[in-house]
């Protein structure tokens, strides 16, 4: 599954550490864009923890509305505890998606849920941290589209101090 048509959408994020961690995950999964609404992140973004500096490669854009920013051929996927939502383990990810996450200290607005093509929840006891939730969704997307093992990816992805191999 191609991730070039995937966008992470954050509703009024407040924590620069969460946004930084989401940027790192977006870099790991080749997600090209992150959109956010609200003003709290603008005030706090200088403190972000994007330790791999992927923020330079990923488009990070403030928008007034995810709905107005979404292309017609992209599916709107809301991630939140919503009655009637589909559990993530059985959800089939669309090829093109806007994944919309609520704020750290609240929920999505009803109008965005009403406009969603899919509403998904993670079957956990209590809510996950915003960055953890985004990581789980991106991993789930990757896992469900996994097509095979390749040591080249391991070699390219690990840091310079890691040269581990499974014994033959």
Q: What is the per-residue pLDDT across 9-25, written as a single tens digit (0 to 9) for each?
A: 999 998 888 888 999 99
Q: Which of 46-50, 76-80, 116-120, 122-126 has the lowest mean pLDDT?
A: 46-50
Question: Which tens digits make up the pLDDT trace of 51-69?
Answer: 555 556 788 899 999 999 9
Between 152 and 71, residue with greater pLDDT: 71
Its sign, for the CA torsion 140, 41, 75, 109, is: positive
Is there a contact between 27 and 53 (Cβ–Cβ < 8 Å)?
Answer: no
pTM: 0.87
- pLDDT tens figures, 109-118: 999 999 999 9
| Mean per-residue pLDDT, 136-141 | 97
The Cα 158–Cα 13 span in angstroms is 30
């Amino acid at each position: 599954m191609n991730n070039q048509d995937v966008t992470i959408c954050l509703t009024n994020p407040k924590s620069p550490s969460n946004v930084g961690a989401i940027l790192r995950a977006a870099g790991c999964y080749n997600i090209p864009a992150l959109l956010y609404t609200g003003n709290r992140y603008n005030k706090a973004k200088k403190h972000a923890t994007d330790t791999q500096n992927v923020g330079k490669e990923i488009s990070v854009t403030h928008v007034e509305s995810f709905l107005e920013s979404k292309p017609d051929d992209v599916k709107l996927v809301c991630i939140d505890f919503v009655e009637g939502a589909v559990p993530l383990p059985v959800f089939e990810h669309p090829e093109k998606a806007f994944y919309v996450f609520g704020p750290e200290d609240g929920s999505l607005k009803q109008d965005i849920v009403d406009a969603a093509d899919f509403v998904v929840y993670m079957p956990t006891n209590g809510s996950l941290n915003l960055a953890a939730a985004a990581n789980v969704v991106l991993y789930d997307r990757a896992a469900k589209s996994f097509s095979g093992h390749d040591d080249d990816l391991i070699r390219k992805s690990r840091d310079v101090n890691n040269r581990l191999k499974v014994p033959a």
